[in-house]
Each structure stands twice: as C-alpha cells, then as structure tokens.
Amino acid sequence: MSGLFPFQRFSRTYRHLGRMRRILTVLFRNGFGFMFDKLRGLVPDSKFTGNWEELASSPVSLPERLRNVMSELGPTFVKAGQILAGRPDLIPHEYAEEFAKLQDQAPPFAFEIVRQIIEKELGAELEELFCEFDEEPISAASIAQGHRAKLHDGSEVFVKVRRPEIESTIKADLEILGFLADYLEKQNPEMRIWRPVKVVEEFSRRIEEELDLDLELANIECFARQFKGREGLLVPKVWPKLSSSMVLTMQFIRGCKATNLEELSKYDIDPLKVSRLGAELLLEQFFMHGFFHSDPHPGNIFFLPDNKICYVDFGQVGRVSAKERETFAGLLGCALRRNFRKAARLLLELVEYEQDPELEALERDLETFTDHYLYRAIEDIKTQSVLHEFYRLCTRHRIGLKPHIYLMLKAMGELDMLGRRLDPGFNIIRQLRPFLYRIFLRGLSPVKKGGHMLEHYEEIQDFLRLIPKQQKNFWQQCLNGKLLFNCRHLGLDRLEDFLKYGLDRICIALIQAGLLIASAVVIHANHPPMLFGLPLLALIGIGCSLILFVLMYLDMVRRR
C-alpha cells in the first residue's frame, strides 16, 4: 500500500466512484473533510471548513463522530469498527471503547434468496437436502444469517448462509479504504502515528477470513481433531457435502448460552466446574496445541448438561507457534524475576514496529507495570485491567502486538470476565501458572535442547551450502556490470512533492508567458477579426493567461 496514488489501486478504486463519493460525503458532513482536501472535487456540494483544533473542541467527541460515520456507511464499516474495538493496541483506548458500541445487526434477506443460494451451491433442490427448513432465520448479521433445519436422517442442523453480493461490496469498500488510508499517511503526517494503512490491512485480513465459510468448516474439523476424546468438550459436527464457501451446515446446539447464565440451573450445570473447565480448555488451546478459538465471547459459548462446553462460530481462529509460546512464557518469567532487560527483548519478539523503540524506556515501563501488580493478591487482580494497561504501554512505545498474540490475550480477558460471572473467586492467572511451568520445564528437557541444536546445525549446514553459489552469482554480476544496489532515501517524500508541485507551477508560468507574448505579437500585427478595436485572437490569449494566473494564485493562497 505504498505510494501516493499507485496506479493500480487508483484505477480499481475509481471503478467504484459512486461509492467513493458516498464515503467522502459522509466524512465531509461529519467534519473530516479537511483531511481529504485534494479529493473534495469528488464531492461537489461539500464545503471545505474546519481543522483538527475545531474538530477537537466540538461538543461531539472525535471517537463518537467516527462511530457515527461507520454506522452511516453500512456493514463493512460497522464490521471494521467492531474489529478495531478489539485492538486497543492499534488504536487509542477511547476509540476502542466507542467502537465497541457498534451493533452488527442487519435485516434478514428473503427466504427465496436463501433457497436459490443453497440450491446453486449444493446442486440439489432444498427438499432433497433437508426434510425441514425454517424460513425465519434464527440470527441475521452483516455477513451471513442462520436457519434451523433437519436432515432426512433426523439430525437437527444449523445452516449458515452468506449474504448475496456481500463479497463484492466488501471488496469494493476495502479497495476504497486502502486508497484513503494511503492518502492520509502521505498527505497528513500527523495521521501516521495512527498507522491507518496498518489498521486497514489488519481489518482486511480478518474480514476476508470471515467471508469464506469453507475456511470456517476447516477450522471446526481441525478443532475436532485437536480435542478428539477430550472430556467436557463438544465440538459441533459438520457436514462437508452440505457446505461450500457460501453455505455451512453444522450441528444445532441446544443448551445454555453463556449470555443467559440464569438458565444454568435449568440444565443442571455447576457454574464452578464449567468456569474451571473453560479456563483449562482455553489454555490447552494456547499452550499445548497452538490453535485456538479467538473469539470466545459469551455469545459463542454454550454450556451443556453434564457440565460440558461447546464453542460455536469458528470464523476467527488464531495460531501460535511453539517458539512464540516459549517466548511468552519466558517474558512472564523474566518479569517475575525482575529481569526487565531480557523481558523487553522478549516482548519485542512478540510485537511489530516500524521504528526501533527506546529499549531503556521500555524496560522502565515494564518495571512500573510489573510493580503495579506483582505484590497484590491474585484475587484482587482483574485480567481485563492488566491487559488494558499493557495495551496502553504498547501504544506509548508505538509497538503493536502480532495479531495472533493479541487474539490470545483478548481471549484470555474475555474468558476471565465470563469466569468471574460464573464464580466470583475465579481468576485465570491462577489457572495459567501450571501451563507456564510446563512450558518452562519442557524448555529444559534434554530432548528439546537437542532438537534446538539439531535445528541450528541444519541452518548452518544450509548457510554453508549456499555460500559458494551466492559468491559465484555476486562476482558474475560484478564482472558483467549487472550488480545493482537498492537505495531508499528516507524523509524525501515531501521534498519530492515540493519539486513536482514547483515544476507544475513553472510549466503554467511558461504557458502564461507564451500566451502573453503571442497575444502581443498578434496585437502588433493588428490581425482581424477585431473586437473593441483589438484582435479577437489576442484577447482570447490574454483571457486564458489571466485565468491561469488567477487559478495559480488561489491555489497558492489555499496551500498557505
């Protein structure tokens, strides 16, 4: 997403000119027009007023204005706000809190369209596939809606159907968002601290995963293999032959949804047991398997009789490598041993950043952060508060957690809140300790150490094997005069823009001078036709020159 106006994105974006105008109109109406000064020609009725100071002093806060913009622009932007609400390490905390108010609700689409999609995707009549199919959806969101149905063998299923045309709509919006993010970073240096391009990339990746129901089916199958035979967990059964990229058929779950905890007694469920079981299952996903359900909020968890747990909605999953698990455990161990220098280095392995952060300042902040919680009783520590303070630390140092690391911490925070609702004495930190000890002891295992040494040996072997070939290529390029060096001069973007703009002005000035000289020659020649006693051609030349001068002067005044 680099470059001011990359030709390919520019042409793709302007295929959706109508949608682009709609987005810019809403931004201008909500006071953000000054950020898109050069694009206001696409919104003819807009007025260019305001600046950062005026916007900040408005009675309506900036986060609230942005939330209103997202609500008005529809499903893609609502989804973007919801995803960003869960990334307080990428955006300021007050924005995350405001975006969390966005509701992913959409009117259901007609049953006839549902029938058409299912029959087209699965290649058979609806009645051949299902003996019962409820026309009224159980749920409807911006990307898909779900219906209860029954198969001919008596199995009760939940059929998730993606909205028609939603993929093309979202892709068009993503192209426009990418273009606008690029524009903001280049034209508004003060916006770079918010990393708009990075934010759009994160959102695009997440929403593209949700669009593919085939991927969700694969996630459920992977989860089922991972926990095969695990007591206390039910993984919904799926029917691959009745599923596609637009349709997902899975087991219909009847139980107590975690959003309705008052119904636990109805299903004879022990809240203390399921709270502990939920923590164990989640931590097993993180530290034993490295593949986890990344959105375990109460709406995606069911409690079943015999104190079982069932996850639904596997559109978002995360993967953590063995190395990252060891690094995370090492980070916590170093913080507890007060070795903040090593803790800072380990933290940098789990984050992304554009400029190297100041290591000493990061060490001091980690020490302050650790001292804030180290000597408290576990019962007094709220995981959500710890995470929010940690995200603020990351924001201060302009470092963003790797997406899967953030999803892991977010899932822990959500489960801790649910666990406390089930059991006031619950704390996921207490459950975390055995898993961290296990990872630490596994790292000390001679077999593990030997495996690491073997990996290093193989890497050295590969490196030594490549040296002769690389040296040969290097010297061949030198002798043939084909050796190229890629140089990148940082901080020259504004100078380049200034030079381009200056050259444009010089060209216009030369055209003006040429028109005036040509007009003077025509006047001297007194060449007909005449108007007001002067040659008409000369008057036209002088008029064009005057118009160019006025336009250039107004542009200079506006820029200043």
Quick one: pLDDT at residue 48? 44
Q: Is position 1 within any domain?
A: no
Range of the domain at 452: 446-486
Burial string for 127-139 (b: 16+ CB within 10 Å, else e) reads: eebbeebeeebee
Shared domain for 388 and 320, answered yes or no, is yes
Token representation of residue 476: 């061949």
Q: Is position 131 within any domain?
A: yes
Shared domain for 55 and 36, answered yes or no, is yes
The answer to whether the beta carbons of residues 387 and 413 sit under 8 Å apart is: yes
Tell me how far apart the alpha carbons of residues 266 and 540 are, in angstroms, rounded to a whole number.
89
Which of 444, 478, 508 terminates a domain? The answer is 444
Q: Whole-prediction pTM value? A: 0.71
Which one is catalytic: 89, 173, 295, 313?
Answer: 295
Tell me how far apart the alpha carbons of residues 202 and 87 are, in angstroms, rounded to a whole number.
10
Considering its fold, how many domains does the chain have in total? 5
Q: Is position 542 within any domain?
A: yes
Shared domain for 307 and 418, answered yes or no, is yes
Instruction: Encode pLDDT of 13-57 as tens digits.
Output: 555 677 777 877 777 777 776 666 655 555 555 554 455 556 555
Shared domain for 438 and 470, answered yes or no, is no
Shared domain for 197 and 81, answered yes or no, is yes
Determine which of 239-248, 442-451, 463-472, 537-546 has the lowest per-residue pLDDT on average: 442-451
Shared domain for 82 and 186, answered yes or no, is yes
Shared domain for 277 and 309, answered yes or no, is yes
Task: List the one residue out of 340, 333, 330, 346 whose CA is nearest residue 364.
Answer: 340
Shared domain for 500 and 367, answered yes or no, is no
Instruction: Encode pLDDT of 219-232 as tens digits.
Output: 999 999 999 989 99
Instruction: Encode pLDDT of 266-304 as tens digits.
Output: 888 999 999 999 989 988 998 888 899 988 888 889 999
Mean pLDDT for the stretch of residues 377-404 = 80
Tell me how far apart the alpha carbons of residues 25 and 41 are, in angstroms, rounded to a whole number.
11
Which of 228, 252, 276 terminates a domain? The answer is 252
Q: Is position 2 within any domain?
A: no
Instruction: Encode pLDDT of 317-365 as tens digits.
Output: 888 888 888 888 888 888 878 888 898 999 998 888 877 888 889 899 9
Instruction: Encode pLDDT of 137-165 as tens digits.
Output: 998 887 889 999 999 999 999 999 998 88
Shared domain for 225 and 351, answered yes or no, is no
62-67 contacts, C-beta under 8 A, 24 or more apart: 62/95, 63/94, 63/95, 63/97, 63/98, 63/99, 64/98, 65/30, 65/31, 65/32, 66/95, 66/98, 66/99, 67/98, 67/99, 67/101, 67/102
Q: Is 371 among the residues known to form the active site? A: no
Shared domain for 440 and 450, answered yes or no, is no
Shared domain for 176 and 48, answered yes or no, is yes
Q: Is position 33 within any domain?
A: yes
